[in-house]
């Protein structure tokens, strides 16, 4: 089988490997489609502190069950499946408290261990979710980015009547807009690229703001009668925007941060305390596949809208060029096997 191996930062090659063997509680998946994510680019360039090289990356993938371990039940060879990349230990403090994605022994498929940029991959059976044959496998590969958005709303704990301000109209921003819509939460989206905002609008955002052309604070305060927004999700992840995000939060509001940068942000205690804000982080997803799959099966999410390019798996280097040379016109890039 062919696997895309990142041998060391900035060096990858297609390698012929032996098909992985299946342990008793594992499943071998014949990969059909895999999404390429910003974090794959970080692994490629040596900017992910969790990675040991060589590594097969890829944490957003769908496929067909090719082999089953002896102890696996509820799955059959030929089933269409998607794989939750979050592997947790089940017994540390976060796991005991229902916070699998904050596990002390967290292993992310495609980061800490080999992932979906391979014709076949072996994964724990507990991470494999069967999907209806009605969902094309290409759409199924997009479940993972929507679980990021689903997790954000779990962390934000919306109340009836809340609206959300979403920073960033990239892939994650667009999944947030769509999940907000499924949950009945109106959204305002901020970005610096009109083309990106147009997609958010098409997907149901009530208002879009280009912060290069408009004063975000003035527009948001006008839209909310001076109150601010009860829920804010930051999928632009620019550390210097945090003070503005704090100012735009409504009293008793919640802010969810998603960024992985270690550059510090300024935090004004006055804004947090006088409005008694809740600031939370969200990392990957906490068992959100079972929530998102039915949304896709029932046609509530427009998965096609977040994909801008498709390449054959063998054209991985073209996919990288697309993501890196044309970010303004690129959304999700997907690899077809």
DSSP label at 109?
B
Residue 278 phi, psi (nearest 5): -110, 120
Residue 78 phi, psi (nearest 5): 100, -15
Kindly report the length of the chain.
337
Min. distance of Cβ 30 from ligand NAD in angstroms?
A: 26
* Position among 1, 15, 238, 279 found at the interface with ligand NAD (CB under 6 A): 238
In b/e form, how buried is each residue of 116-126, taking b as 16+ CB within 10 angstroms? bbbbbbbbbbe
* Position among 5, 29, 31, 37 found at the interface with Zn ion (CB under 5 A): 37
88 binds, among ligand NAD, Zn ion, none (CB under 5 to 8 A by kind): Zn ion
Which of 131-139, 246-254, 278-286, 295-303 is the region at the interface with ligand NAD (rule: CB under 6 A)?
Answer: 278-286
Binding to Zn ion (CB under 5 A) within 91-110 occurs at: 92, 95, 103
Min. distance of Cβ 280 from ligand NAD in angstroms?
A: 11
SS3 133: coil
* Position among 171, 249, 301, 320 found at the interface with ligand NAD (CB under 6 A): 171
* Position among 20, 63, 85, 173 found at the interface with ligand NAD (CB under 6 A): 173
Residue 63 binds to ligand NAD (criterion: CB under 6 A): no
1 binds, among Zn ion, ligand NAD, none (CB under 5 to 8 A by kind): none
Q: Are 168 and 235 in contact (CB under 8 A)?
A: yes
Maximum Cα–Cα distance across the chain: 62
Which of 61-69, 74-82, 115-123, 253-261 is the region at the interface with ligand NAD (rule: CB under 6 A)?
Answer: 253-261
Residue 196 binds to ligand NAD (criterion: CB under 6 A): yes
14 binds, among ligand NAD, Zn ion, none (CB under 5 to 8 A by kind): none
Min. distance of Cβ 209 from ligand NAD in angstroms?
A: 9
Residue 235 binds to ligand NAD (criterion: CB under 6 A): yes
Residue 237 binds to Zn ion (criterion: CB under 5 A): no
Residue 75 binds to Zn ion (criterion: CB under 5 A): no
Residue 148 binds to ligand NAD (criterion: CB under 6 A): yes
CA atoms lying within 13 Å on the CB side of residue 91: 0
Which of 108-116, 163-171, 242-250, 306-314 is the region at the interface with ligand NAD (rule: CB under 6 A)?
Answer: 163-171
Q: Which two tokens stand for residue 235?
A: 């999928």
Q: Can you tell me the distance from the alpha carbon of 169 to that of 280, in angstroms, rounded to the nearest whole number?
A: 20
Residue 141 binds to ligand NAD (criterion: CB under 6 A): no
In b/e form, how buried is each residue of 306-320, taking b as 16+ CB within 10 angstroms? bbbbebebeebeebb
Reduced 3-state DSSP string for 221-269: HHHCCCCCEEEEEECCCCHHHHHHHHHHEEEEEEEEECCCCCCCCCCCH
Min. distance of Cβ 262 from ligand NAD in angstroms?
A: 12
103 binds, among Zn ion, ligand NAD, none (CB under 5 to 8 A by kind): Zn ion
Q: Which is nearer to ligand NAD, 183 or 193 (CB)?
A: 193
Q: Are 283 and 102 in contact (CB under 8 A)?
A: yes
In b/e form, how buried is each residue of 10-40, taking b as 16+ CB within 10 angstroms? eebeeeeeebbebeeebbbbbbbbbbbbebb
User: Which element (helix H / strand E) includes 140?
Assistant: helix 137-140
Residue 283 binds to ligand NAD (criterion: CB under 6 A): yes
Residue 41 binds to ligand NAD (criterion: CB under 6 A): no
Which of 9-17, 33-41, 70-78, 213-221 is the region at the interface with Zn ion (rule: CB under 5 A)?
Answer: 33-41
Q: Which residues bind Zn ion (CB under 5 A)?
A: 37, 88-89, 92, 95, 103
């Amino acid at each position: 089988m062919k696997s895309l191996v990142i041998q060391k930062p900035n060096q990858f090659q297609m390698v012929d490997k032996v098909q992985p063997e299946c342990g008793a509680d594992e499943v071998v998946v014949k990969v059909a489609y895999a999404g390429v994510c910003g974090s794959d680019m970080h692994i490629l360039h040596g900017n992910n502190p969790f990675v040991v090289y060589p590594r097969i990356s890829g944490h957003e993938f769908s496929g067909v069950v090719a082999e089953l371990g002896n102890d696996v039940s509820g799955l059959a060879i030929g089933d269409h499946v998607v794989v939750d990349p979050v592997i947790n230990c089940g017994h540390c403090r976060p796991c005991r408290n229902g916070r699998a994605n904050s596990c002390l022994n967290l292993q992310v498929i495609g980061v800490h261990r080999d992932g979906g940029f391979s014709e076949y991959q072996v994964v724990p059976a507990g991470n494999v979710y069967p999907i209806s044959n009605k969902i094309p496998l290409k759409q199924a590969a997009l479940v993972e980015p929507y679980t990021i958005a689903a997790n954000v709303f779990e962390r934000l704990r919306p109340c009836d009547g809340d609206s959300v301000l979403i920073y960033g109209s990239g892939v994650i921003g667009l999944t947030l807009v769509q999940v907000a819509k499924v949950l009945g939460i109106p959204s305002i989206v901020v970005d610096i690229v009109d083309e990106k905002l147009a997609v958010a609008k098409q997907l149901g955002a009530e208002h879009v703001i280009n912060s290069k052309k408009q004063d975000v604070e003035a527009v948001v305060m006008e839209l909310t009668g001076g109150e601010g927004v009860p829920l804010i999700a930051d999928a632009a992840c620019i550390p210097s925007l945090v003070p503005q995000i704090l100012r735009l939060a409504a009293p008793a509001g919640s802010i969810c941060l998603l960024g992985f940068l270690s550059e510090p942000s300024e935090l004004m205690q006055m804004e947090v305390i006088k409005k008694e804000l809740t600031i939370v982080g969200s990392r990957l997803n906490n068992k959100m596949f079972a929530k998102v799959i039915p949304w896709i099966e029932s046609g509530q999410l427009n998965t096609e809208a977040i994909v801008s390019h498709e390449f054959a798996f063998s054209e991985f280097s073209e996919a990288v060029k697309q993501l890196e040379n044309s970010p303004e016109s690129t959304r999700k890039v997907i690899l077809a096997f």
